[in-house]
């Protein structure tokens, strides 16, 4: 377990550092207005690319370990190589759908940004293929290969995007570099994943791809709701507050997303083992493994969240420059959001291992409706802080829904898990109280 976490963490640390370097160079070079436009286009491309993923990476992380660990077949009766081949085929079907959806969107954009947007769309497609390949490697237990791919990805991304942003200072230049770096990593990842499973990454035809996509609908819905996080922000803030607000918020969100790279790493390590334990472990062993996973993720979330709150002017100047000093008012709220988000993820992983994707999908839809409803009231009053407060409230409700669902499952009901919920809640309330007190003191 520790070796798996360590190897996955190595690749994640490399990607975290490279992402921060590339984004900080782009933010400094473009300044808040143009950086806000770039982030708006990137977020729009990411949202339109959701059909290309369809939650298939999560499905592979659950189905493949079960197929390998128990009887040689997944819960759907598929062999390991068939699991990967069906998901790969559905992944390409989703990519075609994505491209068809994206074409009308080009006509809605102004002429200067159409080409950058098209390039970013293709880059997001390539990034999705690379993430699928990494999911296959993790599901096969090849964390060393995943770590190597992560390090290579980090170097390619930081050098290409950072250097291009510094030399060109243009949105188009960054888009070209982003596409080339993601395409190269996708090719490397596909080759490594092909060697990890018998038969490699095979295309099984449109009919099989459509059947797998239909069978994975609950995973797709849950993924779509998760993918909105960090992306829909740019669309909402651009509409209400303009590109400068998008630039400031997205600078903080890039820090958030860089730190959040630790969450999929922990999920990709714990989820396959927890999913396999659902059919092989005793009830007491399963509960112990679940609580250990939840405790690890909550602890990591609390520590990183505190780090956001402690960030000072020197950090912002170093990463983004003088033009982004207003970000200091947002970072503590990002810290609180990180804590709540990690807690929700810890219980969400448990639900995924249980096969409760349908519940996760419904809960995610409701939590986004709550966020959008609160933002209508909070954005005009608190502006950027209002949007972050709406995100905190929505993710808190999502966490509570997940926790209640797990506690209602007799096999997973645990006093230790309930105590962990109460402990994490107390820490977050303390964080919120100190944050409100600090904001009030600053206002006075």
- For the stretch 367-392, pLDDT in tens is 999 999 999 888 888 888 899 999 99
The structure's pTM equals: 0.75
What does the pLDDT read at residue 338?
A: 92
**Mean pLDDT of all residues in the chain?**
81
Of 48, 26, 47, nearest in space to 37 by CA: 26
- For the stretch 129-185, pLDDT in tens is 888 888 888 888 787 787 788 788 888 888 898 899 989 989 999 999 999 999 999
Query: What's the whole-number mean pLDDT along residues 112-116?
Result: 89
| Cβ neighbours of residue 354 closer than 8 Å, sequence gap 6 or more | 278, 406, 409, 412
What is the chain's Cα-based Rg?
21
| Cβ neighbours of residue 437 closer than 8 Å, sequence gap 6 or more | none
Query: What's the whole-number mean pLDDT along residues 403-421?
Result: 72
What does the pLDDT read at residue 171?
A: 92
CA dihedral 97, 102, 47, 365 (to 10 degrees): -60
Q: How far separated are the first and last CA of the chain, in Å rounded? A: 50
Query: CA 199 to CA 265: how far, in whole Å?
Result: 26
Query: What's the whole-number mean pLDDT along residues 335-353?
Result: 87
Question: What are the domain boundaries of the chain?
Answer: 1-214, 281-444
Total residue count of the chain as it appears in this document = 444
- For the stretch 48-98, pLDDT in tens is 887 777 778 878 877 777 666 554 555 556 677 888 888 888 888 888 888
What does the pLDDT read at residue 426?
A: 67
> Is 400 a residue whose pLDDT tops 60?
yes
Query: What's the whole-number mean pLDDT along residues 18-26?
Result: 81
- Measured in whole angstroms, the distance separating CA 358 from the mean position of its chain's CA atoms is 19
Query: What's the whole-number mean pLDDT along residues 294-299?
Result: 85
| Cβ neighbours of residue 33 closer than 8 Å, sequence gap 6 or more | 243, 244, 247
437-441 contacts, C-beta under 8 A, 24 or more apart: 438/332, 439/332
Question: 362 exposed, middle or buried (CB, 10 Å; 0-12, 13-18, 19+)?
Answer: middle
- For the stretch 177-219, pLDDT in tens is 999 999 999 999 999 988 888 777 888 888 888 888 888 777 7
- Measured in whole angstroms, the distance separating CA 103 from the mean position of its chain's CA atoms is 25
What does the pLDDT read at residue 387?
A: 92
| Cβ neighbours of residue 367 closer than 8 Å, sequence gap 6 or more | 225, 394, 395, 397, 398, 401
């Amino acid at each position: 377990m520790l070796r798996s976490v360590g190897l996955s963490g190595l690749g994640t640390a490399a990607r975290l550092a490279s992402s921060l370097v590339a984004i900080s160079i782009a933010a400094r070079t473009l300044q808040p207005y143009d950086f806000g436009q770039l982030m708006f286009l990137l977020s729009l491309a990411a949202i339109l690319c959701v059909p290309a993923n369809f939650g298939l990476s999560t499905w592979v992380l659950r189905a493949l370990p079960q197929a390998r660990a128990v009887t040689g077949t997944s819960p759907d009766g598929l062999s390991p190589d068939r699991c990967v081949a069906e998901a790969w085929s559905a992944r390409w079907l989703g990519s075609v759908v994505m491209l068809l959806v994206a074409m009308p969107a080009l006509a809605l954009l102004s002429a200067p940004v159409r080409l950058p947007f098209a390039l970013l769309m293709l880059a997001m497609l390539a990034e999705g293929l690379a993430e699928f390949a990494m999911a296959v490697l993790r599901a096969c237990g090849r964390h060393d290969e995943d770590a190597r791919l992560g390090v290579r990805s980090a170097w390619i991304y930081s050098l290409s995007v950072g250097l291009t942003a510094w030399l060109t200072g243009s949105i188009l230049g960054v888009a070209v570099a982003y596409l080339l770096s993601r395409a190269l990593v996708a090719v490397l990842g596909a080759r490594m994943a092909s060697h990890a499973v018998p038969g490699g990454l095979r295309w099984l035809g449109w009919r099989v791809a459509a059947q797998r996509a239909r069978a994975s609908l609950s995973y797709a819905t849950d993924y779509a709701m998760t993918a909105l996080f960090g992306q829909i922000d740019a669309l909402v803030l651009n509409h209400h507050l303009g590109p400068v607000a998008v630039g400031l918020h997205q600078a903080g969100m890039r820090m958030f997303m860089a730190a959040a790279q630790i969450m999929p790493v922990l999920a990709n390590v714990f989820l396959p083992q927890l999913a396999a334990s659902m059919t092989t472990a005793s009830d007491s062993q399963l509960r112990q493994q679940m609580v250990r996973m939840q405790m690890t993720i909550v602890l990591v979330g609390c520590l990183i969240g505190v780090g956001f709150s402690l960030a000072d002017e020197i950090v912002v100047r170093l990463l983004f420059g003088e033009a982004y000093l207003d970000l200091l008012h947002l970072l503590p709220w990002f810290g609180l959001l990180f804590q709540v988000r990690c807690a929700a993820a810890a219980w969400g992983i448990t639900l995924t291992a249980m096969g409760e994707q349908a519940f996760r999908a419904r809960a995610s839809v409701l939590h986004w409706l709550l966020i959008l409803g609160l933002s209508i009231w909070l954005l005009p009053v608190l502006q950027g802080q209002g949007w972050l407060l709406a995100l905190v409230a929505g993710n808190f409700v999502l966490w509570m829904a997940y926790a209640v669902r797990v506690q209602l499952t007799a096999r997973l009901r645990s006093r230790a898990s309930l105590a962990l919920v109460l402990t994490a809640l107390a820490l977050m309330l303390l964080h919120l109280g100190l944050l409100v007190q600090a904001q009030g003191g600053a206002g006075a």
